[in-house]
Amino acid sequence: MRRTNSKTVNLIGFPMDLGADRRGVDMGPSALRIAGLPKQLQNLGYKIIDDGDIIIQIKEKQEIGNFKLKYLNEILRTSKILAQKVEKALSQNYFPLCIGGDHSMGIGTIAGISSYCRKNKLKLGVIWIDAHADMNTDKTTPTGNIHGMPLAANLGLGNEKLVNFYGFSPKLKPENTVLIGVRSIDEFEKKNIKQLNLTVYTMSDVDKLGIHRIIARVLKQFKEKVDHIHVSFDLDSVDPTLAPGVGTSIPGGLSFRESHLLMESIAECGCMSSLEVTEVNPILDDKNKSAIFAAELVASSMGQRIL
């Protein structure tokens, strides 16, 4: 396991709302900055290079296109810019911190990370923390929203343009991919998960085993098998009483302490080399409390402690 030692964080905003039906998630990057995310990381000793936000055309200026793959062309165009930025950050020994935006962001971030790992002969592992599995394809999607497809696409399932985005597939190996906090899975997604034999820790597993045992098990396995750990954190993994500002809130999520303990454990491992935070929607929020909570979780994952 290659331990990350970069004290320079490259902050990349991806104000994407084309992957989802609910508007407002494009303001997520601004909400996280307003919540003090850069300052919190500076207080932990990190240098911040803020690239600002990638420019994305609003829905009103675009055609939906294929109703099973809404706004595909603009998502692919902007995801390529994101992938290039992430890959460049890693090549400069920076820590890419991508803030969104809906979870279709995971198409670009993971493409860039996976490309960097391929070129440097590193094995990539991904911890996907989410209320949803994001394992739909254009054949299985009930909505046509691409934010429900990024993990499937990265694993090689789905539409050819998503699967082969950035010139290669798959981006991830199922045995090096873990989902945590899942509590809403579509019927066809279950088939895709079983087909790939993915490791999924649902909220029922969190209740039975405890979050510390789960993340300790995952990190132990990854330390032996992978060189680069990427964490993809969807704020809807957290219980909506703590973070109401998400597009698709599902009751019964991670508690305050479970969320922080999860991120603190990742920090203690010292093995996270990239991070993305998605689905912060200030329009659905209460006085930016969801973004404030998300910023605190990022700080926990980067080394902030109670004592």
Q: Which two tokens stand for residue 80?
A: 């390529």
- β-pairing, 8-14 vs 47-53, is parallel
Residue 51 · residue 9 · CB < 8 Å: no
Which candidate in 258, 279, 285, 296 is catalytic?
A: 279
The active-site residue out of 17, 53, 102, 134 is: 134
Decide if 234 is catalytic. yes
* Tokens (6 digits) for 81: 């810019």
Answer yes or no: 147 catalytic.
Answer: yes
**Element holding 65 (H helix, E strand):** none
Quick one: DSSP state of residue 167?
Answer: G
Q: Tokens at residue 259, please?
A: 């969320």
186 assigned to active site: no
Say which of 17, 74, 102, 147 is annotated catalytic: 147
* List 53, 87, 189, 234, catalytic entry: 234
Q: How far apart are CA 23 and CA 27, in angstroms?
A: 9
Q: Retrieve residue 234's tokens.
A: 């969807």
Known catalytic membership, residue 102? no
The one-letter amino acid code at 181 reads: G
Residue tagged active-site, from 26, 130, 239, 285: 130
Q: Is 132 a catalytic residue?
A: yes
H-helix segments, the chain: 28-34, 37-43, 72-91, 105-119, 150-154, 160-163, 187-196, 203-209, 211-225, 256-269, 289-301
Q: Is there a contact between 231 and 219 (Cβ–Cβ < 8 Å)?
A: no
User: Which residues belong to the active site?
Assistant: 103, 130, 132, 134, 147, 234, 236, 279
